[in-house]
Amino acid sequence: MTADAVAPTVFLVDDDRSVLKAQARLLREHGFQTALFESAEDFLTQYDASVPGCLVLDVNLPGLDGLALQRRLAEVGPSLPIVFLTGVGDIPKSVQAIKAGAVDFLTKPVAGATFLAAVRAAVAQDALARLATDDDATLRQRHASLSAREREVLAGLAAGKLNKQIAGELGIAEATVKFHRAHLMDHMRADTVAELMYLAARLKL
């Protein structure tokens, strides 16, 4: 990651402070920004929609509970992807949550790997959604900011060529291709090759 890249923020809502704290620690260790809220109401008042990331939401909350918050956010517009956490497996609620677009519905205590995978998936979904909402001018501006060699590599990738093939055609080392690719994905704000492919398509490369 580069310094200018904006790290996605994981918004955590749980009425149990100690649970919040532990989850935040784990997420930060894995490179996520975290924002902690002890109630749905707190989250709603402090939430900045422009910040990318995802929402980790406890189902059982005093006052506005998890599912209610999900509904509330949906009413406002496209929302952060939500990973639900619950103390007790509640099938009706999990079905309701998934139908309403939740990324995942996990039962506490959840293994770190499972939790992180769900958070990553949610963050990726958010990034993709945000890409979709960026305008073409911004995209072209980002494309223009690439070096010539980077644009060549991007074109090769967009054409579906392998790194090895691109290296052969450009007469450079395959490692150099990889280096350029990481750099240009960063500039294009694409976290995954899939996102990059999506952007290349938008730019009609």
Q: Which residues bind another protein (CB under 8 A)?
A: 15-16, 18-19, 21-23, 25-26, 28-30, 60-62, 65, 85-88, 90, 107-112, 115
Q: Which is nearer to another protein, 104 or 150 (CB)?
A: 104
Q: Which is nearer to another protein, 36 or 129 (CB)?
A: 36
DSSP for 7-74, written as a single string: PPEEEEE-S-HHHHHHHHHHHHHTT-EEEEESSHHHHHHH--TTS-EEEEEES--SSS-HHHHHHHHH
| CB 140, min distance to another protein, A | 40
Cα angle 118, 31, 52 (rounded to 5 degrees) comes to 65
Closest-CA residue to 58 (of 114, 97, 7): 97
Q: Which is nearer to another protein, 78 or 87 (CB)?
A: 87
| CB 56, min distance to another protein, A | 11
Q: Which is nearer to another protein, 12 or 127 (CB)?
A: 12
| CB 134, min distance to another protein, A | 32
